[in-house]
Structure 1
Amino acid sequence: MIKKMFLALMAIGIFTTSCSNDDDNNGPSTSNLTLNLQGLEPLGADYVYEGWIIVNGAPVSTGTFSDVTSAQVFEVNSDMLNSATRFVLSIEPSVDPDPAPADTKVLVGDFSGQRATLNSEGIVADFSSASGTYILATPTDADMTNEASGVWFLDNSSGSPATGLNLPTLSAGWQYEGWVVFDGTPVSTGTFIDPAMADNNAATSPYKGTSGNGPGYPGEDYVMGSVAGVTFPTDLKGRTVVISVEPWPDNSPAPFALKPLAHMVPANAADHTAITMGTGPVVSVSGTATR
């Protein structure tokens, strides 16, 4: 009798184990997707990076992250991951009611075998031909003694103001922003989409003077107020002027990683004279997605 009971209990255990394994095997299997990214910087509060695989033409989220200092690994449905043709990285609100990717896509790449090579040139813009010219002037300031305290991205070498920035049209979700770096602290000149038009804060800048809004090009007069211990008006000679590419919307007070143009204002720079910008420190970001 004891032997029969023991055999019966063994049979129940085997049956239970078999059912459990069947349940596990019937569930969806997952595989790792590993992201190795170069050049990205942390986002401001309330925003995260989110990965997407494109499966049969539709985006499928692979997960969000904020840490850009190390590789990111995500568990993804194996069938979907194996069927994916492309990987896309976007910038999303950390609390995001929209299940679709935002317009602000920063990296993209097609899978070739197990890997997708990612870059920003294919989704943000190609800055290989970007160039820029600016002048030192303070057109919003009636006092003509502070001309070295303003920067305007225009070219007056022909005798008349002309567009000073040669920049590609950005994809949706991005905008340009000018900066001057004061003792390590970047201060915005304003955001803009079209370098042939005034920037978005032309009429509302807290730093400009009271004599109008300046010419119809991006730029800024630092003639009022103060920032980072620097009181305006000041002298921009020796400061670094930067054009960055910013996600929109953007709540970070610092420039984003993409900085296609930059230049240190020469110590002997003349006012109202065209100065040529150089290539910025980061014209693209890149990485890989491995499945």
Structure 2
Amino acid sequence: MKKLNLLMILFAAIFFASCSGDDSVDRSDVTVDISGLERLDSGAEYQAWLVTNTNLVSLGRFTDVNFPKTFQALTGQVNDAEGFVLSIEPGNDPSSEISQSIILSGDFVGNAATVDVTDTFGSYTTASGQFVLQTPTDDVATNENSGLYWYVPSTGQPGLKLPTLPSGWKYEGWVTLQGASGDVNVSTGKFTNVNNADEFATFSSSINDGPDFPGEDFVNISLLSQLYGITTAPNLLGRRAFITIEPSPDNDETKPFVLRPLTGTITEEAGSAVTNKMQINTASFPVGRVTKD
């Protein structure tokens, strides 16, 4: 009799443990399908989140951009989710909190959500850009095609019209130059205000101050040679200039990020009364669809 009771108790313990385990792993799938992202380097990771009421539920991190991806969360959390967010998290980040660098988001309508950059960055439909070639930081008159600044000299007004970025992001200017091993994208500096100089002047001369607008003189030949094998002041005519939106902190200071709202080809040389114009490039922004399965 005692043996039978012990067997019954053991069976009951296994049964209830099994039931309890089923409850704890009652999970549902969330499928994420995004186009237009680039792989992150330097240890940085994308992190997917569900927005449930005012809470965030992490679905997991990833670096590769092979989609679709399927994540799992507790069924109750999936059912209650009102939205989806994708963030960029710094490398070796031990924090369980979301960073300020949110790149994609969207609300669920039924079991599906379209996710894009609109909630984070707003609309770029009225964005515009124009710039001139000049090298005001040195006293050399023969290299004016080697510098670029985003402003309009005739009016003294900024050449960029861009939405104000939220915390966790900065704009950055770039020019594609001919390096020793082919084309290379070289930064003109990061900025958050189009009415002020950017954070970078490493390739400029220190003889004179530059305009109080984003831009750069590419006249520091020693550094250009060291980094890119460029041994003479580059002529920017015919080259490409563009603006990116960069996560802050930046996971890779040497490469432009995938978000490139404005781009243009340099066709007007220094001294021209016509500024170089840029085109809106938001069709390249990442976009995706998230479904509760």
TM-score (norm 1): 0.89
2:210 match: 214
1:167 aligns with 2:162: yes
Q: Deviations over 1:117-176 (max 9, x none)?
A: 1010121232121110100000012101000000000112xx242100011111211110
> Deviation at 1:58?
1.1
Report the more deviating stretch, 181-190 or 138-147: 181-190
Aligned equivalents of 1:9, 1:60: Cα separation in 2:
42
* Structure 1 residues 272 and 121: alpha-carbon distance in aligned structure 2, compared to 1, 3 A threshold: farther
Residue 122 (structure 1) aligned with residue 119 (structure 2): yes
Deviation at 1:71, TM superposition (A): 1.8
Among 29, 34, 38, which residue is 2:35 paired with? 38
SS in 1 for 2:121: coil
**Matched-pair contact (CA < 8 Å) for 1:128–1:283:** no
Measure the CA separation in 2 of the matches of 1:25 and 1:270.
70
Aligned residue number for residue 235 of structure 1: 235
Counterpart contact for 2:101–2:248, Cα < 8 Å: yes
Cα distance in 1 for residues equivalent to 2:29 and 2:209: 54
Question: Could you tell which deviates more after superposition, 280-289 or 90-99?
Answer: 280-289
Which secondary structure state, in structure 1, belongs to the residue aligned with residue 97 of structure 2?
A: coil
Q: How does 1:141-290 map to 2 (within 5 A)?
A: 141-156=138-153, 159-183=154-178, 184-201=183-200, 205-225=201-221, 226=224, 227-252=227-252, 253-266=254-267, 269-273=268-272, 274-280=275-281, 282=283, 284-290=285-291
The CA distance in 2 between the partners of 1:104 and 1:175, in whole Å, is 10
Separation in 2, partners of 1:231, 1:280: 32
Do the aligned partners of residues 137 and 115 (structure 1) sit closer, same or farther apart at CA in structure 2, a change above 3 Å counting?
Answer: same
Distance in 1 between the 2:90 and 2:283 partners? 24
- More helix, by proportion: 2
Report the identity percentage. Answer: 34
1:231 is displaced (CA, Å) by 2.4
Query: How far off its partner does 1:235 sit?
Result: 0.2
Contact persistence 1:110–1:117 (CA under 8 A): yes
Conserved in 2, the CA contact under 8 Å of 1:258 and 1:282?
Answer: no
* Cα distance in 2 for residues equivalent to 1:275 and 1:241: 10
Looking at structure 1, the residues matched to 30 and 23 of structure 2 have their Cα atoms a distance apart, in angstroms, of 22
Question: What is the rounded CA distance, in whole Å, between the counterparts of 2:67 and 2:23 in structure 1?
Answer: 34
Cα 1:20–1:176 change in 2 (3 A) is same
Query: Which deviates further from its counterpart, 11-20 or 33-42?
Result: 11-20
- Residue correspondences, number: 279
1:256: how far off? 0.8
RMSD between superposed Cα atoms in Å:
2.2
Counterpart CA distance in 2 for 1:145 and 1:180 is 20
Which segments of 5 or more consecutive residues in structure 1 lack a partner in the other structure? none
Of 233-242 and 278-287, deviating more is: 278-287
Contact map agreement 1:139 1:211 (CA 8 A) in 2: no
- Looking at structure 1, the residues matched to 129 and 137 of structure 2 have their Cα atoms a distance apart, in angstroms, of 22
How far residue 28 of structure 1 moved from its aligned partner, in angstroms, is 3.7
- Name the CA distance, whole Å, in 2 between partners of 1:101 and 1:49: 11
- Equivalent in the alignment of 1:84: 81
Residue equivalent to 2:90: 93
> Which of 97, 109, 113 in structure 1 is aligned with 2:110?
113
Pair 1:251–1:54, CA change in 2 (3 A): closer
Query: Is contact 1:105-1:124 (8 Å) kept?
Result: no
Q: Which amino acid aligns with 1:244?
A: T
Query: 1: distance between equivalents of 2:71 and 2:172?
Result: 33
Report the alpha carbon displacement of residue 11 of structure 1 after superposing the two structures with TM.
Answer: 7.3
Residue pairs, 1:134-145, within 5 angstroms: 134-145=131-142
